[in-house]
Structure 1
Amino acid sequence: MDPERLREHLGTEQPINPLPATPKNRHFTTLLIVLIILAACAGPGETPVVPPDFDWVWSNPLPQGARLESISGVSAGDIWAVGVHGAMIHYDGTQWSVESIGTSYRFNDVWAVGTNDVFAVGQGGTILHYDGTDWAEQNSGVTTMLWEVWGNSSNDVFAVGQGGTILHYDGTSWTQQPSGTPQNFYSLWGSSGSDVFAGGASVILHYDGSDWNDTSAPSAQGYTSLWGFSATDVFASGSNGNVFHYDGTSWTQMQTFDTRPIDDLWGSAPEDVFGVGADGAIRHYDGTAWTTQQSGGTSWLLGVWGSSGSDVYTVGNEGQVFHYDGTAWTTQSTGTTESLFGIWGFPTGDVFAVGGGLNARVVRLAGGVWVEQSVPPLARAWGVWGSSPNDVFAVGMSGDALHFDGTAWSSMATGVTDNLYDVWGTDGSNVYAVGGFPNSRIVRYDGSSWSTIPSPWGSELLGIWGFGPNDIFVSGGSGLIGHYDGTTWSTHTTGVSGMLWDVWGSGPSDVFAVGTGGTILHYDGATWSPQSSGTTSSLYSVFGHSATDVTAVGMHTVLHYDGAAWSPQEPITISTMHGLWGDANQAYYAVGTTGTILRRAECDGPTMACYDFDELPADGRWNLGEGFTTRGMQVAVVPFQWADGRWATSGSVRSDGNTLNPNNASADFQILCPVYEVTFQYLETGGNINVRVNGEHREADDINALNGQVIGGAQLNSISTIVDGDWRGAVSIVGDIEQFEIGGQELRIEGLCFRYQ
Structure 2
Amino acid sequence: MTQTANPDRRRFFRQLLDGANPNAPQRAAWHRVPEVGAGDGDVLWSGWAGDGEVFVVGDEAMVLHFDGQTDAHGRLWKPMATPGNLPLHDIWGLSRDSLFAVGWMGCILHFDGTRWTQQRGGVIDDESQAFTPCAENTPLFAIDGNANGQAWAVGDDGMILHYDGDAWQREKSPTYINLRAVACTPNGSVYAAGGEGTVLHRPPGGGWEALDCPLGSGFQTLLVVDDDTLLLGGGRYFIDQGGFRGELVSYAGGRFEAVEVDTPMPRLRSLRPYKDGVLIVGDRGYLFYLRDYLTGARFATRKPRLYQLESNCHHDLMDIVALSTGEALVVGDFGTIMTAAPDFIDALAPAVSAEARKPRWEAMDSPTDRQLWNLWETPQGVCYACGEAGTVLRLAGNGAQWEQLPAPTELNLHCVWDAGRGGLYAAGQFGRIFRFDGHDWQLHFDLHLDVTILSMWGTRPDSIFAVGDEGLVLHFDGLGWKRLPSGTASALYHLWGMDDEHLLAVGDFGLVLRYNGRDWTDFAAGTENFLYGVWGDALDNIYAVGLSGTLAHFNGQRWNLLPIRVRDDLLSISGSAAAGVYAVGTHGCAVRLEGGQWQSEPTGTERGLRSVIATRGGAVYAVGDQGIILRRR
TMscore range, shorter length? 0.3 to 0.5
Q: Structure 2 length as normaliser, TM-score?
A: 0.45
Larger Rg belongs to: 2
Q: Determine which structure has the larger strand proportion and give its number.
A: 1
Q: Structure 1 length as normaliser, TM-score?
A: 0.38
